[in-house]
Amino acid sequence: MGLLKELNLPTGVIYGDDVLKLFTYAREKGFAIPAVNVTSSSTVVAALEAARDAKAPIILQTSQGGAAYFAGKGVKNSAEKQEASVGGAIAAAHYIRSVAPLYGIPVVLHTDHCAKKLLPWLDGMLDEDEKFFKQNGIPLFSSHMIDLSEEPVDENISTCVAYLKRAAPMKQWLEMEIGITGGEEDGVDNTGVDNASLYTQPEDIWQIEQAFRPISKYFSIAAGFGNVHGVYAPGNVRLHPELLGKHQAFVSEKLGGDDKKPVFFVFHGGSGSSKQEYLDAISHGVIKVNVDTDMQWAYLTGIRDYVTKNIDYLKTQVGNPEGPSKPNKKKYDPRVWVREGEKTMSTRVAECLRDFNAAGTL
Ligand SMILES: [Zn+2]
């Protein structure tokens, strides 16, 4: 293993061929990189710290809502312009670009799930990418994601192709999604849905590969294999990561090459999955796993436990069980209690890095 020595990857936010090198290496060596949703400088540093300590690369991503939160909940975010989401994502990107080198690890800067009605958000970010590219020879973001899985397959693919054409000159990565994300028994009644539409079929993956490959090699596919977004009670979701293996074999045969795993897969709705399910998916070419929900929970637990434990010090600015004139400033300083959330989130990110075999890959 040696992303830095063997591959000579730079540290800080990486782009283009470095992202391709990282994902190719991950697919070859059998590890995946957790993609952590960040909504603040605090969650960014929690993730960076975990990756640095685990000697691993990391993917940081902002969702449309998370990006707006970065700008501030009080900022207008119209459907047509997505001002807060565009501005917040750009602010997050500059912040991450500034601090990432301090951690000495490669970081992929990504944006999460952009559904059809959110495309103005992506348009705004791409405008900024192109501006940044003119000045610096790299886009601002390493990678973006388009989720048109709810739309007809042909529309999904043709829209993604149009965006891939815009991203390709900047060697910017594009992640797309196909297939129903939901579950067999997750409370959604899928009795009327046949198996073919519940799980992505190999022909769908090949259709994407055929459409994308002539334009760019910088893309990945989030294919449904029984995934759900969010966390459900154990036993309610049945994943079929072996389907990804079938897709790889199908595409490999169509391409007629020696590459047995030609597709870059992304695992969505990963929170709550077992370690074995992750490892099976990774063995079939998953190089990125989204882990938002578990990280939100982890971040809360540190703050929750801190407040619960210190509640008698947090009711007034002055006065606590040690005396009526004792000050509580050291207890209510946000650097103390927010930090507790960072620590528990960091611990959870570290667990993902170990589970996905990414720890120790630098
Ligand atoms: Zn998804």
pTM above 0.85, yes or no: yes
pLDDT at position 350, please?
A: 98
pLDDT band (50, 70, 90) for residue 199: confident
Mean pLDDT estimate for the chain = 92
Instruction: Give Dmax (Cα) for the chain.
Output: 79
Q: Cα(269) to centroid of ligand 1, in Å?
A: 7
DSSP letter (8 states) at residue 1:
-
Note the pLDDT tens digit of each residue in 205-231.
999 999 999 999 999 999 988 776 655
Average pLDDT over residues 88-117: 98
Q: In 10 A of CB 142, how many CB atoms?
A: 27
- Respond yes or no: is residue 154 known to be catalytic: no
For residue 192, the surrounding DSSP H or E stretch is none
Instruction: Check if the beta carbon of residue 237 is closer than 8 Å to that of residue 228.
Output: yes
Q: Tokens 């600015």 identify what position?
A: 317
- Among candidate residues 112, 147, 204, 280, the one labeled active-site is 112
Report d(CA 279, CA 41) in Å as an integer.
Answer: 30
Instruction: Check if the beta carbon of residue 33 is closer than 8 Å to that of residue 108.
Output: yes
pLDDT at position 4, please?
A: 84
Q: Cα(321) to centroid of ligand 1, in Å?
A: 49
pLDDT at position 358, please?
A: 98
- Indicate if the pLDDT at residue 132 is higher than 90: yes
Note the pLDDT tens digit of each residue in 42-64.
999 999 999 999 999 999 999 99
Q: Cα(267) to centroid of ligand 1, in Å?
A: 8
Residues facing residue 62 across a β-bridge = 111
For residue 353, the surrounding DSSP H or E stretch is helix 334-355
Instruction: Check if the beta carbon of residue 227 is closer than 8 Å to that of residue 243.
Output: no
Average pLDDT over residues 158-173: 98
Beta-sheet strands, E only, within 112-271: 143-146, 173-178, 219-223, 265-267
Q: How far is CA 316 from CA 304, 312, 326, 328, in A?
A: 18, 8, 10, 7
pLDDT band (50, 70, 90) for residue 185: very low
pLDDT at position 228, please?
A: 67
For residue 304, the surrounding DSSP H or E stretch is helix 292-309
Q: Cα(217) to centroid of ligand 1, in Å?
A: 21
Give the tokens for residue 297.
């929970």
Q: Cα(290) to centroid of ligand 1, in Å?
A: 9
pLDDT at position 230, please?
A: 59
Report d(CA 200, CA 207) in Å as an integer.
Answer: 12
Q: Tokens 């991203």 identify what position?
A: 167
Report d(CA 202, CA 356) in Å as an integer.
Answer: 25
Most confident of 4-8, 187-191, 340-344: 340-344
Average pLDDT over residues 329-340: 97
- Indicate if the pLDDT at residue 194 is higher than 80: no
For residue 33, the surrounding DSSP H or E stretch is strand 33-37
Note the pLDDT tens digit of each residue in 271-301.
677 889 999 999 999 999 998 889 999 999 9
pLDDT band (50, 70, 90) for residue 236: low
pLDDT at position 235, please?
A: 53
pLDDT band (50, 70, 90) for residue 252: very high
